[in-house]
Structure 1
Amino acid sequence: MSSRTLLCLALGLVSVPVVADTVWLKNGDRLTGTIKLFDGGKLLLQTDYGGAIAVKLDKIATLQSDQQLLIKQDDLVGEVAKSLQPAESGKVTLLNGDAPKTVELASIEQILRPKPVVQDLVWSGNVDVSLDYEEAENTTEDYDLDFKTKARHGQWRHIAEGGYNREFKDDTKVTDNWDAEYSLDRFLDEHWFWQGRLEYKRDRVEDVARQRTVGTGPGYQFWDNELGAFSLGSLLNRTDYEYRNGEKENFYSLGMKWDYNRYLIGKSVELFTNGEVGKPLDSVADYSLDAEAGLRYKVTEWASLNLKAEKEMVSGGSDGELDETRYSIGFGVGW
């Protein structure tokens, strides 16, 4: 039976020019398109006739692709194959320049397009918008806009992010602020990088009217691929405050930043969290925390719905304790 299967596949490959990746199903059907991802027991195939199609692993007989793909058979070890060639049902052959290697499809946990640190240009980002209107004892209107974008060229990575928040209660403005941040990372090897960071915040309501932060320090990129990324960074920061009454102060602090995102269920759901925890060196405050976490559900290739929680805390500050939590539901676009 296996010889017949191989003969049929060989004849099919000879008679039909290969112009796309091919997935053969156990029921005899054949799908063509571009393999985007395999994770969670499903293969995501991008087609020009049906969009993104998710195929269960137990329905697949074998695969063919001329793409360079990363094949992971466990969480730690992966092998980059220059191409995939069909084999008998339930298996696939990896071609990587050495002797061909045939593996069980059931042994594969992930198939990803490799994303090396050194490449010409990779650009991604998203913009999230949320509007909230509540009419009760107090009428509340809340507008929130956030953006984040990353661009990598060679061993350099640029990260820009920011946000704007405005809130009214009974036609009285109680929140009106915006912030912007730019980070520049220089990768020293595949994982380690050195970061420089500049952040500016402007508030038209609170006592602290302006805040500027400059920081630098090492970081470590655990992974960065089609399924997401995770990095940690440690920074030595100098922060300058300018109060509404004209007074100024500055202090130094140590900070730890994290940035994590992970795609689930065939890249239709994204789990994300990022933020920074800091400790002032001159004991102005015990610690500070500025973080967010949430979920994005992709409605289309570029549009998504998002659910997000944001937390800001300052413990033992000279102006008293701060503990604020905000929840929002909104709409976003990504690229």
Structure 2
Amino acid sequence: MLLRILFCLAVIGASSSAVADTVWLKNGDRVSGKIKVFDGGKLLIQTEYGGAIPIDWKQVKTLESDQELLVKQDEYSGEKAKSLHAAEPGKVTLANDEAPKTVDLASIQQIMKPKPVVEDLMFKGNVDVALDYKRAESDTDDYDVDFKTTARHGRWRHNAEGEYNRESQDGTTSANNWSTEYALDRFITDKWFWQGRLKYQRDHIEDLARQRTIGTGPGYQFWDNELGAFSLGSLLNRTDYEYADGTKDNFYSLAMKWDYNRYLVGKTVEFFTNGEVGKPLGNVADYALDAEMGFRYKVTEWASLNLKAEKDIISGTDDNDLDKTRYTAGFGVTW
């Protein structure tokens, strides 16, 4: 009798662990797995047989899940459902401690796992590290570390990034610089936002020793979901240059920023590019460009390999022009 009870409990435990979220499609197909997120018109479901699969929300007939999920029908508030139950076509039932509530799929803007404190907080980012340490006829030490992170809550989005780079050969340092930037976005609509940002760059080798920039302006978010993001922003900047010989320049400029990333091959490979091109208002310089482009390959859910190219140009400052291109390869952490 005891063995029979233990066997039944084991069967029940195995069955419960095998329970998966299910999505029914309008064409009659059914997809089983674990719902990760719904945002930007795409429902991402993690499957054992096909990895992460994006599904067009317009093709979903109904769905069910035994997870606790935050379902948002607008930008400001959401309802925490202990589970989702399948309903008639075009609807889903939110089950919680109160009476179940059936809503139209078309009214849902986001579905995500609730966070412990700020339930609708969307937090993502990465740290990339590239190292080249060689001991031969010429000893070289190259280090490059950069990070980028974004946190969004409701209409507000915080963006922070930074980089440190050092290169030396036979004890002679050829590059030693770092930079940091913070930007705050306020979304006016679902797509349009207003940004304010601060940026500081320090170079211990080049003639242009310090750059300080403060700027503000509108931007447009084309999309931002689990499969990638793309935004453009225009800024009116106040920039201060300080050169190694002690001379200084300060000027206003108009700039255009871009930030694009896209996951490919079932979120295994990520292509990314971001940067800024600006035109000073005056005769200080012709233009300035700071851009990067590259790929990340996800080895695990959090570890990745990266390959990228960086380009820095300041043209039109006579003897203080800057034109640098760097290629790096390394490893990183994503979240």
Same fold, TM-score > 0.5, yes or no: yes
C-alpha spacing 1:140/1:19, structure 2 compared with 1 (3 Å): same
CA contact (8 A) 2:62 2:90 kept: no
Taking the aligned partners of 1:219 and 1:114, their CA distance within structure 2 comes to: 25
SS in 1 for 2:327: strand
State the TM-score, normalized to the length of structure 1.
0.71
Measured after TM superposition, the shift of residue 296 of structure 1 is 0.6
- Cα offsets for 1:184-205 (capped at 9, x unmatched): 1111010101100100111112
- Name the residue aligned to 2:327: 327
- Name the residue aligned to 1:95: 91
Taking the aligned partners of 2:105 and 2:278, their CA distance within structure 1 comes to: 51
Unaligned runs of 5+ in 1: 1-14, 25-29, 71-81, 88-92, 102-111
- Cα offsets for 1:10-69 (capped at 9, x unmatched): xxxxx9899530479xxxxx996413379xxxx97547xx69846899xxxx99533789
C-alpha spacing 1:36/1:256, structure 2 compared with 1 (3 Å): same
- Name the residue aligned to 1:281: 281
State the TM-score, normalized to the length of structure 2.
0.71
Unaligned runs of 5+ in 2: 1-14, 25-29, 56-60, 73-82, 93-101, 113-117
- Cα offsets for 1:193-236 (capped at 9, x unmatched): 11001001111122222211000000000111111110000001
C-alpha spacing 1:99/1:135, structure 2 compared with 1 (3 Å): closer
CA contact (8 A) 1:119 1:154 kept: no
- Name the residue aligned to 1:265: 265
Measured after TM superposition, the shift of residue 295 of structure 1 is 0.7
Measured after TM superposition, the shift of residue 123 of structure 1 is 1.1
> How many pairs does the alignment contain?
278
- Name the residue aligned to 2:7: none
C-alpha spacing 1:56/1:167, structure 2 compared with 1 (3 Å): closer
SS in 2 for 1:319: helix
Measured after TM superposition, the shift of residue 257 of structure 1 is 0.1
Taking the aligned partners of 1:56 and 1:183, their CA distance within structure 2 comes to: 30
- Name the residue aligned to 2:148: 148
CA contact (8 A) 2:180 2:200 kept: yes
Is 1:65 equivalent to 2:64 in the alignment? yes
Moved over 6 A (4+): 15-18, 67-70, 98-101
Taking the aligned partners of 2:315 and 2:242, their CA distance within structure 1 comes to: 20
Taking the aligned partners of 1:100 and 1:311, their CA distance within structure 2 comes to: 45
Residue correspondence of structure 1 range 118-133 to structure 2 within 5 A: 120-133=120-133
- Cα offsets for 1:156-203 (capped at 9, x unmatched): 111000000000022101111110000011110101011001001111
- Taking only the aligned residue pairs, the percentage that are identical comes to 63
Is 1:237 equivalent to 2:237 in the alignment? yes
Measured after TM superposition, the shift of residue 325 of structure 1 is 1.2
Residue correspondence of structure 1 range 1-335 to structure 2 within 5 A: 20-22=20-22, 33-36=33-36, 46=46, 53=51, 64-66=63-65, 85=86, 94-95=90-91, 114=111, 120-133=120-133, 138-335=138-335
CA contact (8 A) 2:46 2:53 kept: no
Taking the aligned partners of 2:157 and 2:104, their CA distance within structure 1 comes to: 36
Measured after TM superposition, the shift of residue 119 of structure 1 is 7.1
CA contact (8 A) 1:232 1:257 kept: yes
CA contact (8 A) 2:149 2:161 kept: yes
- Name the residue aligned to 2:5: none
- Name the residue aligned to 1:109: none
Measured after TM superposition, the shift of residue 140 of structure 1 is 3.0
CA contact (8 A) 1:305 1:331 kept: yes
CA contact (8 A) 1:308 1:329 kept: yes
Which letter maps to 1:271?
F
Taking the aligned partners of 1:321 and 1:211, their CA distance within structure 2 comes to: 14
Measured after TM superposition, the shift of residue 137 of structure 1 is 6.8
Taking the aligned partners of 1:56 and 1:220, their CA distance within structure 2 comes to: 24
Taking the aligned partners of 2:300 and 2:33, their CA distance within structure 1 comes to: 18
RMSD: 3.7
Taking the aligned partners of 2:320 and 2:163, their CA distance within structure 1 comes to: 25
